[in-house]
Amino acid sequence: MRVLVLSFRLVMNYKDNIVRLLRDELRFLEGVTFIDVRLLSNPRRVEERVWSKLLMKRMDKLIVELMKEEYEPDAEDLTYMPFAGSYMLAIKLSRTTVPIDALGDGARMAMLLASIASTVEDTALLLEDPETHQHPRGLASLMKFLLSMVRKRRLQLFITTHSIELVNIIRKLCDKEGLRLRLFFMERGGDGVVDVRAMESLDVDILLKLGIDPRFLEVI
């Protein structure tokens, strides 16, 4: 009888663990966010989703620091300003206040992307071509910020890119921060089937030293 009771308890504990695991997985999936140029071109939509969360946790300070680093050196704060009978998000500079819409494309997209990454946790961000409108130094600062959020917010990043510069920036940052990185080469064949091959960071390094661009392996 003791064996039966013990077995019953083990089964119940196992069931509880499974339920807890499924609950965590569902919470992870519910938070998965896809970010592309179309979303980042709509500041109002991003603003409605993240602004209150940014203020509650004072993550807006981190966004301002990112802006000061490469985009707006005299950035001081984020605020709202009157606009067309309503209010819109703006960034305070030392001598003026600029609506988010009036920022350069690179600065605006970096700010919105960083804002989203700062307000989600225990989930994944799917980023499509984050290098769009970014100059190399700005891109490096943005990636450094996003990878810091990977640790702080317990995130996974899935990034698609056509930029070998972005690949190299991420490789160096992951090596420096001790973050695990997986690289995949993807190509759609003439039959419409996508071929996917895993690549190690060292493989990319060797190819680049040989003067071979990993993006054109099939052409070579």
CATH number at residue 69: 3.40.50.300
Does some domain include residue 90? yes
Question: Residue 159 pLDDT more than 60?
Answer: yes
The enclosing H or E element of 196 equals strand 194-199
Query: Residue 64: what residue type?
Result: V
Spell 113-151 as b/e; 16+ CB within 10 A means b. bbbbbbbbeebbbebbbbbbbbeeebbbbbbbbbbbbbe
- State the CB neighbour count (10 A cutoff) for residue 196: 9
Residue 18 and residue 16: Cα distance in Å, rounded?
Answer: 5
Residue 129 and residue 148: Cα distance in Å, rounded?
Answer: 19
- What pLDDT was estimated at residue 185? 84
Does some domain include residue 1? no
Does some domain include residue 197? no
The alpha carbons of the chain give a radius of gyration, in whole angstroms, of 22
Does some domain include residue 44? yes
- Write out the residue range of the structural domain in which residue 70 sits: 31-181
Residue 87 and residue 31: Cα distance in Å, rounded?
Answer: 28
Residue 149 and residue 65: Cα distance in Å, rounded?
Answer: 14
The total number of structural domains in the chain stands at 1
Query: Residue 137: what residue type?
Result: R
Does some domain include residue 89? yes
Does some domain include residue 14? no
Does some domain include residue 4? no
Residue pLDDT, tens place only, 67-108: 999 899 999 998 888 877 777 888 999 889 988 888 899 999
Please report which confidence band the pLDDT of residue 1 belongs to, taking 50, 70 and 90 as the band edges: very low
- What pLDDT was estimated at residue 190? 80
- pLDDT exceeding 70 applies to what percent of the chain? 87
Question: Residue 135 pLDDT more than 80?
Answer: yes
More confident residue, 201 or 76: 76
